[in-house]
């Protein structure tokens, strides 16, 4: 089995609930959408070669999964919180994920206890009520399967439009960051039903948070529809409002959209992309 990649690199997570954590990013090539605000257009298609800047590597696509494992293993586990599957849309390559994820970063040494996290899904509690930062401070505590020998939690960044693909790999993923696309802001045709289906499926088993990109021209009606989509699944699912970098909304607009969402959902935060500010990839 092979995968098509753009790059594997080490950086700081610049968005969402894990903002500020150091991750190993596996950027998959190819995307089924064409968002107007896309900040990684190079990942929409499959390049002839993919890169590992840290180790000065440029290798041809498609790549054997063993080689992906070998590259990930070369990064220092002491400084990385988790592995981020990003893109493009990683779920487009679901067959590769099915094979890659179970064996990615098998650990031979001693693991830390993760009993705190285990409580969330084994005793029928709402997994989202326990979605608190302390669960992320110790990366091992975010790994869903306590028997797992994986070194890193697996974090999926997804556009949330491929529910049948998600179903095949959701048990191999620890944390899901899902974009909710507002048609006018993203320039996409409405995808409400498929996005709701995806969110429902993910929220059954995974620790998930949602993200909505807001710009100066965000339409209030469709913003509320996106918020309501989350509420219909579970009003405790966290929402991150991410101001669009190229069309940053005014402070008044940011506060107004936060208030609108917070009246409906129990956890709403505003977080701009910080990797741009830091100048890291």
Q: Does the protein bind ligand SF4 through residue 33 (CB under 6 A)?
A: yes
Determine which residue in the list 38, 57, 264, 274 makes contact with ligand SF4, applying CB under 6 A. Answer: 38
Cα–Cα distances (Å) from 215 to 33, 184, 188, 212, 260, in that order, read 19, 10, 15, 10, 15
Q: How far apart are CA 140 and CA 135, in angstroms?
A: 9
Are the CB atoms for 261 and 227 separated by under 8 Å?
yes
Query: With contacts defined by CB under 6 A, how many residues of the chain interact with ligand SF4?
Result: 12
CB of 74 to ligand SF4, least distance (A): 26
Are the CB atoms for 57 and 75 separated by under 8 Å?
no
Continuous segment of H or E residues that includes residue 269: strand 268-270
Q: Does the protein bind ligand SF4 through residue 40 (CB under 6 A)?
A: yes
Q: Does the protein bind ligand SF4 through residue 139 (CB under 6 A)?
A: no
Determine which residue in the list 43, 85, 100, 227 makes contact with ligand SF4, applying CB under 6 A. Answer: 43
3-state DSSP call for residue 21? Answer: coil
Q: Which residues contact 229 (CB under 8 A, 6 or more apart)?
A: 180, 192, 195, 196, 199
Stretch that binds ligand SF4, among 39-47, 123-131, 204-212, 216-224 (CB under 6 A): 39-47
Please list every residue from 74 through 133 that binds ligand SF4, using CB under 6 A: 87-89
Determine which residue in the list 1, 20, 34, 250 makes contact with ligand SF4, applying CB under 6 A. Answer: 34
CB of 232 to ligand SF4, least distance (A): 22
Q: Which residues contact 226 (CB under 8 A, 6 or more apart)?
A: 180, 182, 212
CB of 87 to ligand SF4, least distance (A): 5
CB of 7 to ligand SF4, least distance (A): 14
Binding residues for ligand SF4, rule: CB under 6 A, are 31, 33-35, 38, 40, 43-44, 87-89, 159
């Amino acid at each position: 089995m092979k995968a098509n990649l753009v790059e594997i690199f080490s950086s700081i997570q610049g968005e969402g609930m894990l903002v500020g954590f150091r991750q190993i990013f596996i950027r998959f090539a190819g995307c089924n959408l064409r968002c107007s605000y896309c900040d990684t257009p190079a990942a929409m298609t499959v390049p002839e070669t993919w890169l590992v800047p840290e180790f000065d590597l440029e290798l041809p696509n498609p790549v054997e999964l063993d080689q992906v494992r070998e590259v990930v293993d070369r990064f220092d586990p002491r400084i990385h919180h988790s592995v981020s599957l990003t893109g493009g849309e990683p779920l487009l390559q679901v067959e590769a994920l099915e094979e890659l994820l179970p064996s990615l970063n098998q650990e031979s040494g001693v693991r830390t206890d993760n009993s705190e996290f285990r409580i969330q899904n084994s005793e029928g509690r709402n997994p989202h009520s326990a979605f608190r930062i302390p669960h992320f401070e110790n990366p091992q505590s975010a790994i869903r399967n306590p028997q797992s020998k994986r070194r890193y939690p697996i974090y999926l960044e997804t556009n949330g439009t491929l529910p049948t693909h998600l179903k095949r790999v959701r048990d191999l993923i620890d944390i899901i960051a899902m974009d909710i696309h507002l048609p006018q802001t993203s320039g996409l045709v409405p995808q409400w039903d498929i996005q709701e289906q995806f969110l429902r499926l993910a929220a059954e088993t995974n620790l998930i948070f949602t993200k909505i990109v807001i710009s100066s021209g965000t339409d209030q009606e469709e913003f509320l529809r996106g918020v309501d989509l989350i509420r219909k699944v579970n009003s405790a699912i966290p929402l991150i409002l991410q101001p669009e970098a190229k069309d940053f909304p005014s402070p008044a607009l940011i506060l107004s959209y936060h208030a609108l969402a917070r009246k409906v959902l129990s956890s709403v935060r505003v977080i701009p992309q910080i990797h741009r500010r830091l100048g890291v990839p």
